[in-house]
Amino acid sequence: MTSTSSHKSASISWPAPAKLNLFLHVTGQRADGYHELQTLFQFIDHCDYLDFHITDTPDLVLHSNISDSVADSDNLILKAAKSLQRYAQYEGGAHIWLDKLLPMGGGLGGGSSDAATTLVALNALWKTNLSPSKLAEIGLTLGADVPVFINGFSAFAEGVGEKLITVEPTESWYLVIVPNVHVSTKDIFQDPDLPRNTPKVDINTLMTRKWTNDCQKLVTTRHPQVANALSWLVEYAPSRMTGTGACVFGEFTHSQQALDALAELPADMRGFVAKGMNKSPLQIRLEQL
């Protein structure tokens, strides 16, 4: 951060955690083109980080280590800040610093998480005092995954991902592999080969079944990098893809098991070990205020 950020109105290290879809079922497609889902979200302790410097002027400025990759007009952080500013009729603004650590196009929800952290942090720092449900309503206009990050707890989700029921799956250790490919969520959901008719099942039944991802077969067929990562990882632990990919994850009981597998990772693959968290690091940060 620059020297201006040392002002008393600065607030640093707000986490924007990754999520895993522990399962993902596509149960139908609505008339507006959006897909109906049943999915289980769990956070992991691998995050982007955002710093905020509140200003008296209404300008919103983003400083980022990926500024060359995403135009300001498409950046969910600025969209989130502008949406909150507009809804709350807040007259001030902010400088925002993003330390981008989560891979883009990996199915870990990084962009949605960045947007959620922006809404939650600025709501606190601007003292606009909107409820979490109102923030989630604003967040849903930015992306279907944003509400779960605002909610702050592992959740079973239905609808397009906005109908949330808090659950507490086992907080496992995960080895997450990041294939060197960007998978477009839009392209996957528009692909005619995507299964769209998985029967809806009640939550109690789903929580006791073997977990799968309806997007996995399509993505591994289209992207051999994802298929290769998954075929390597499944030799070490129960493994599957998160979201629409590209990241895949293996589930371990102990951290050392995951670290041992990471040590064997082929040189042409990259990955990291993370802990599952049923309370989001963002929620923990908010409670510290």
CA separation for the pair 81, 85 (Å, rounded) = 6
Question: Helix or strand or coil: residue 3?
Answer: helix
| Assigned fold of 173-277 | Alpha-Beta Plaits (3.30.70)
| Assigned fold of 3-167 | Ribosomal Protein S5; domain 2 (3.30.230)
Q: Which residue ranges make up each domain of the chain?
A: 3-167, 173-277
- Write out pLDDT tens, residues 178-210: 999 999 999 999 999 999 999 999 999 999 999
**Residue whose C-alpha is closest to residue 177's, from 251, 263, 244, 248:** 248
The tokens for 225 are 């990098």
List of long-range contacts for 205-212, beta carbons under 8 Å, 24+ apart: 206/23, 206/38, 206/40, 206/156, 207/40, 207/156, 207/167, 207/169, 211/22, 211/23, 211/40, 211/240, 212/23, 212/24, 212/25, 212/240
- DSSP states of 89-124: T---EEEEEEE--SPTTSSS-HHHHHHHHHHHHHHH
Asked whether the beta carbons of 107 and 186 are under 8 A apart, the reply is: no
Q: Over its length of 289 residues, how does the chain's per-residue pLDDT go in tens digits?
A: 433 333 446 899 999 999 999 999 999 999 988 899 999 999 999 999 999 999 999 999 999 987 666 666 679 999 999 999 999 999 999 999 999 999 988 999 999 999 999 999 999 999 999 999 999 999 999 998 999 999 999 999 998 888 999 999 999 999 999 999 999 999 999 999 999 999 999 999 999 999 999 999 999 999 999 999 999 999 999 999 999 999 999 999 999 999 999 999 999 999 999 999 999 999 999 999 8
Which residues participate in catalysis according to the annotation?
A: 19, 145
The tokens for 171 are 């907080």
